[in-house]
Homo-oligomer: A and B are copies of this chain.
Amino acid sequence: MKGTIVTIGDEILIGQITDTNSAWLGNEMTQLGVEVVEILTIADKVTAIHAALDTALAKSDLVVMTGGLGPTKDDITKKAIAEYVGSELYLDEALVTRIKTYFDARGIPFTEAHKAQCYMPKDAKSLTNEMGTAPGMLFEHQGKHILSMPGVPYEMKNIFSNSFLSSFAPMQDSALKIYHKTIKTVGMGESRIEEKISDIVAELPADISMSYLPSLGTVKLRLTARSQDDKSDLVENFAARIVERIPELVFGYGKTSLAESLQETMISQGLTVTTAESCTGGYLAHQLTVVPGSSRYYLGSIVAYDYEPKKSLLKVSPATLEKYGAVSEETVKEMLVGLIASMGSDLGIAISGIAGPGGGMPDKPVGTIWMAWGSKSDVRTRKLNLSKNRVKNIEYTAVAAMNALRKFVKKYE
């Protein structure tokens, strides 16, 4: 079964917002065995919607559209699809009642714009939206399927995961079996990894492919089997051989994040962690705490952005700051020791650097970042020489810091 994702919105074409819906849908559809052949982003225009439906239906069995369903007047998707499939609109009284009840409970007045949302195409199956007012719609058209959902991510996800999935099972055929295995690595670039495992990759049969997906500091290695037969055992076997070759780089599989992997390690070993951040400004703490359950090992962070909290809360001596500066090995060491003493954790990470774009000095250019990590009795340090890009420096440093603590606990270094 093949699928196309169509995202509707001028705001995406002009780059005002990033389309995150397609990645989420691409992953969900792949898990369901739908091969996503194309993602298309188009303008809020009836002609563009009709042209996209022509293109997408020619290539695929399921077209998933997001965007252009909502209470404001610039939304024309519903009418465009209804016209395309030849379906009239009628006022869905049950929907009016549902939305009125929803709004009454929140003290929001029910407006004409809200009522306009309650006109539904006669031939669409209405899919409940538990997170908002605009329902999803599922159409059958010439033996194929069109799913239309609002563009607000949590509404779209709610409709897809709940209402749509229960309608989906009957439309599936499963001629081609797809099996993915993703190995997640950190600390080495894609071409050096490729060299290390090239002999294993060379043995892959034609129906198993290998991709390298780099992001800041990490590389995903993805094995994909597309075959009539079940190739999962063979894929797992190749994956195991690759991991055996580069064990210290591998932190997890599938969608596991570095923070999730670190959390699992810390909880299983009964260790607590704290952080002291200067230039990363809370980003490391956020990466750790965005993972559910992080309170089981993570106690907190002192974001000492200014000089004062470095002295008052982390007990860095004024003499050290004076002599070596805030961005120095000596300062991050004292930050780490002060952090662990103050918060009483087993382990910690301390970071101080110049994220940029301003603040560089001749001997410490923008991108100079010092980090310390370890325990009260075993403090390690490292200097990073990064770029002039503030966001990249902050994000890369968080990855490097998490990896340093991971390797410390796993005793890789």
Contacts and interface: CB of A to CB of B under 8 A. Distances in A.
Interface of A: 7, 10-20, 22-30, 36-44, 48, 55, 70-74, 108, 111, 113-114, 131, 152, 154, 180, 182, 189-192, 194-195, 209-215, 220, 222, 224, 275, 277, 280-286, 288-290, 292-295, 298-306, 308-309, 312-313, 342-344, 356-358, 387, 389-392, 394
B290 A394 contact: yes
Chain A interface helix/strand/loop/mixed? mixed
B22 A27 contact: no
A285 B38 CA distance: 38
Contacts of A152: 214
Contact of A212 (B19, B24, B74, B306): B74
Given A22-B19, A41-B22, A305 B295 contact: yes
Contacts of A191: 71-72, 111, 113-114
A190 B18 CA distance: 19
B39 A41 contact: yes
Contacts of A293: 358
Contact of A220 (B16, B303, B309, B390): B16
A308 B344 contact: yes
B74 A292 contact: no
A314 B390 CA distance: 30
Given A74-B210, A289-B282, A342-B313, A111 B195 contact: yes
How many copies altogether? 2
Interface centre among A16, A38, A224 (most CB of B within 10 A): A16
A213 B309 contact: no
Given A43-B37, A154-B389, A283-B282, A194 B113 contact: yes
Contacts of A308: 299, 343-344
Contacts of A27: 14-16
The 4 A-B pairs at the shortest CB distance, nearest first, are namely A281-B289, A15-B27, A282-B285, A15-B26
Contacts of A390: 290, 292
Given A15-B27, A282-B284, 9 more contacts: A11-B213, A12-B26, A14-B180, A16-B23, A40-B40, A74-B210, A283-B289, A295-B305, A302-B313
Contact of A25 (B15, B39, B389): B15
B11 A30 contact: no
A404 to B, nearest CB: 18
Contacts of A14: 26-27, 30, 36, 180
Contacts of A36: 13-15
